[in-house]
Structure 1
Amino acid sequence: MKVLYVDWSGDPGFKFRRASSRYLTVACITSLMPLSDILNSIRDRYGLGKQFYFHFADSSRFLKPRFFEELAQVNLRGIVLRVNKQRLTPEFRNMRGNELIGYFVSESIIRLPDGLIEKHVLLFDGSRKETSITRAVRIAVSAKLRSTDKPHLRQVAPRPAREEDGLQVADMLAGAAASEHLSDNVLLGCLQGKVHLFDYSEEKQNRPG
């Protein structure tokens, strides 16, 4: 089964004085080899335990660079879309949270080559019972693929990241891009040529509606 792993970092809110994040980032990645192989290797090498869960916000300064250095050895492909929410217009600020996330997930997907979309299953981090966000992502992605003449996905579904190492990789990438610390941002440089970072530009043709 060909799988696209998607996760996001940051929140969809705009109350910046009340701790809403400046950035919303979406990572979308895939690999020709099982990502569990490299993550298990990292777990073994650093004595983390077989059930260790990689989550950027909880990772130490020691682990982060080593994770990305190891990941650079993998045949990984994908993109990270970084959105500065402070620069978004009222059109975006009036959207519901799940709708905003769905919109930017769709914006990340269409930046992938057609071969990484067609007949793939899109998995994103979430509970299997989260029907609201699942519906929002499915609707946004399907509409965007149709409007841009992109291939269709086989399925869009949530999975808890603890069950999917690919989602843990996506979390680490999204977290590095969303961080306001340069030392975190530069970690993505380890994946240069494999994972591309896009800063969202609110061009007229990209606006919702």
Structure 2
Amino acid sequence: MLVFIDESGDPGFKLAKGSSPIFVVALVAFKEIDQSRRAIAAIDDAAKKAKLPTEFKFSKCRPEVRDIFFESVLPFDFSIRAIVIEKEKIYSPHLRTDKEAFYSFFVKSMLKFDNGLLKNAKVVIDGSGEQMFKRELSSYLRKHTGENAIRKVTFSDSRNDRLVQMADMCTGAIARSYRENRDDAQRWREMLKPKIEDIWPFR
């Protein structure tokens, strides 16, 4: 099993000064390697169709490019799970002041309460952050998830990894659905609806 993770929003709590009110972490899971490889090929073709010279990033793609992307991946067998955090409901001083702890806690929570999805999974996370944090996060996730749920945790630069880009696009679509001031808030989440197993509003 292959699992790709990305986030949308930031872990900051200066909500009056520009920090995002919502933080979303989502995973895209492939049970079959062949399906992931076919998805990569389809994303490559989508990039050519969209005349996109760089990576797919939800926040930087035009609406029509998002449509092309999601239409290209929907035929494949994958699932999506996400956790949505409304920061105003987080009261823990530790989580409000330690950005790495905040990120680790919610990635762990999403993976731990996976409804039995993860089995000997290789987990790939967008590769930002310091090396020490990466090592600590890898150890933390294996320690705090179910037995035999995670085989390996690695980090990958989204610029060179189509499936990390896919995680970014899916996470962005879910995050956009919480922006009620946007006419297209539900547009791409609705496209992904057949693939979404669970979206957990954290309380």
TM range (shorter): 0.7 to 0.9
Alignment of 1:132-143 (within 5 A): 132-143=132-143
For 1:205, the equivalent position in structure 2 comes to: none
CA–CA distance in structure 2, aligned partners of residues 198 and 63 of structure 1: 24
Is 1:126 the equivalent of 2:130? Answer: no
Specify whether residues 185 and 126 from structure 1 end up closer, same or farther in structure 2 by C-alpha distance, changes over 3 A only: farther
TM superposition outliers: structure 1 runs of 4+ over 6 Å: none
Contact 1:80 1:173 in 2 (8 A): no
Q: CA deviation at 1:185?
A: 3.7
Residue 193 of structure 1 corresponds to which residue in structure 2? Answer: 194
Per the normalisation by structure 2, the TM-score is 0.84
Q: Is the 8 A contact 1:102 1:136 kept in 2?
A: no
- Whether 2:85 is the aligned partner of 1:83: answer yes
Matches of 1:73 and 1:88, distance apart in 2 = 37
Decide whether aligned partners of structure 1 residues 170 and 96 sit closer, same or farther in structure 2, where only a CA change above 3 A counts.
Answer: same
**1:62 counterpart SS class:** helix
Q: What corresponds to 2:6 in structure 1?
A: 7
1:99 is aligned with what amino acid? A
Q: How far does residue 12 in structure 1 lie from its aligned partner after superposition?
A: 0.6
Instruction: Return the offset for 1:124.
Output: 0.5
Percent identical = 20
Amino acid corresponding to residue 176 of structure 1 in structure 2: A
Aligned to 2:58: 56
Aligned to 1:38, the other structure's residue is in SS state helix
Equivalent residues of 2:80, 2:198 under 8 A apart: no
CA distance in 2, matches of 1:187, 1:137: 30
Q: CA deviation at 1:42?
A: 0.8
Superposed CA offset, 1:62-83 (max 9, x none): 2122322322222111212211
Which secondary structure state, in structure 1, belongs to the residue aligned with residue 27 of structure 2? strand
- Please give the secondary structure, in 2, of the residue aligned with 1:134: helix
Contact 1:29 1:79 in 2 (8 A): yes
**Can you give the 5+ residue segments of structure 1 that lack an aligned partner in the other structure?**
203-209
Equivalent-residue separation in structure 2 for 1:182 and 1:140 (angstroms): 39
- CA change 1:84–1:71 in 2 (3 A) is same
Aligned residues: 194
Q: Which runs of 5+ in 2 are unaligned?
A: none
RMSD, matched Cα: 2.2
Name the CA distance, whole Å, in 2 between partners of 1:135 and 1:100. Answer: 16
